[in-house]
């Protein structure tokens, strides 16, 4: 196979943390894949890729760019898994990685007529300027993002309770709103991403909610895992085979799933955010009126 022909839209460096053998999370490790009907054990590196998904003209450049971001992500997860406390800068890096794992995903239909990397670049600009900052001026975007995250966003890592595990999917970062329809100025209010079977990263806009530092409840884990089905394109992944009630719950969730819509054209980006209704809030979320 030509160099970099196989391009992962969900990096193996992410999925490896859900390996069956949690002591050896590597690209050649195995995870359990579930498609709504059957489960099978698959190699991490064999999942979530397409031929020349980002670029055929210069695949090496795209690969180098993504590798740098994946290394930043892995450093953070390794800190969490070692039991150490991340620094503030580490949380900022994780927020950007959470966004990137969503924005690079194949769930976003490319209708630009250009290579996938072009559509990805367009999503990056539109996400940070319009969806995150609520502005169309992309002037000093980098500094505006840093200030916005410092002023308005926070992050917590929510561990799973003993004996329960978080699942992940082929489209793991969930972009969420607690308003229906989403607010025009501040539509994105919550991001969720399972880092490994025992930890979920929760990024939130503190103008709308607060996340307490606590262990998740069993109901939280069920709600999160069901949300992964809804956000998935085709597959759910776990470090252990699903059994009993979990299989029945996942099969029912797949039957009811409505995959979020996203399409990039030369005219713009159409995106649907996942709505989190008040009656379905996680135990660790505290809603509050917007701060002025």
* Domain that includes residue 119, residue range: 6-287
β-bridge partners, 26 = none
Indicate whether 204 belongs to any domain. yes
Which residues in the chain belong to E strands, given as ranges? 6-8, 30-34, 39-43, 49-51, 109-110, 153-159, 168-169, 174-177, 190-196, 199-205, 209-211, 236-238, 262-265, 268-271, 274-275, 285-287
Q: What pLDDT score does 27 carry?
A: 94
Residue 56 lies in a domain: yes
Residues above pLDDT 70, as percent of the chain: 97
pTM confidence score = 0.94
Is residue 1 in some structural domain?
no
> Does residue 93 form part of some domain?
yes
Q: State the average pLDDT for the chain.
A: 92
pLDDT in tens, 233-287: 999 999 999 988 889 999 999 999 987 789 999 999 999 999 988 777 899 999 8
pLDDT for the residue 243: 87
Hunting for tokens 């969900």 — which residue is that? 10
And the tokens for 1? Answer: 């196979």
Task: Flag whether 292 is in a domain.
Answer: no
Cα 112 to the chain's mean position, in Å?
24
How many of the other CB atoms lie within 10 Å of CB of 80? 20
Checking if the pLDDT of 181 tops 90, the result is no
Q: Is residue 68 part of a domain?
A: yes
CA separation for the pair 221, 32 (Å, rounded): 18
Number of CB atoms found within 10 A of residue 19's CB: 23
Is a pLDDT exceeding 70 seen at residue 2? no
CA dihedral 6, 9, 14, 15 (to 10 degrees): -70
Examine residue 252 and state whether it is found in any structural domain, yes or no: yes
| Domains of the chain: total | 1
Residue 276 is assigned to a structural domain of this protein? yes
pLDDT in tens, 3-34: 789 999 999 999 999 999 999 999 999 999 99
What does DSSP say about strands 236-238 and 209-211: parallel, antiparallel, or unpaired? unpaired
* Lowest mean pLDDT across 48-57, 95-104, 182-191, 234-243: 182-191
List, in order, residues 6 or more apart from 112 with CB less than 8 Å away. Answer: 118, 119, 122, 264, 265, 266
- For residue 88, the model assigns a pLDDT of 87
């Amino acid at each position: 196979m030509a160099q970099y022909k196989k391009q992962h839209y969900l990096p193996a460096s992410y999925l490896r943390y859900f390996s069956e053998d949690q002591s050896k999370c590597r690209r050649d490790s195995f995870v359990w894949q579930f498609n709504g009907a059957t489960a099978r054990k698959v190699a991490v590196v064999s999942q979530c890729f397409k031929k020349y998904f980002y670029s055929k003209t210069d695949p090496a450049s795209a690969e180098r760019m993504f590798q740098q971001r994946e290394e930043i992500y892995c450093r953070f997860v390794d800190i969490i898994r070692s039991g150490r406390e991340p620094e503030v800068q580490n949380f900022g890096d994780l927020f950007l990685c959470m966004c990137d794992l969503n924005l690079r995903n194949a769930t976003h239909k490319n209708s630009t007529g250009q290579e996938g990397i072009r559509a990805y670049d367009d999503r990056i600009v539109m996400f940070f300027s319009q969806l995150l900052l609520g502005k169309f001026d992309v002037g000093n975007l980098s500094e505006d993002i840093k200030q916005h995250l410092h002023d308005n966003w926070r992050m917590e890592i929510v561990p799973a309770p003993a004996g329960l595990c978080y699942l992940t999917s082929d489209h793991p970062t969930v972009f969420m709103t607690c308003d229906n329809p989403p607010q025009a100025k501040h539509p994105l209010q919550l991001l969720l991403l399972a880092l490994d079977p025992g930890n979920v990263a929760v990024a939130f806009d503190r103008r709308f909610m607060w996340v307490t530092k606590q262990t998740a409840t069993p109901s939280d884990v069920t709600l999160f895992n069901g949300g992964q089905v809804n956000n998935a394109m085709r597959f759910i992944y776990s470090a252990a085979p699903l059994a009993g009630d979990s299989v029945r719950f996942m099969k029912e969730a797949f039957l009811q799933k409505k995959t979020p819509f996203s399409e990039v054209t030369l005219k713009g980006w159409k995106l649907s955010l996942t709505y989190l209704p008040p009656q379905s809030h996680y135990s660790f979320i505290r809603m509050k009126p917007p701060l002025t």
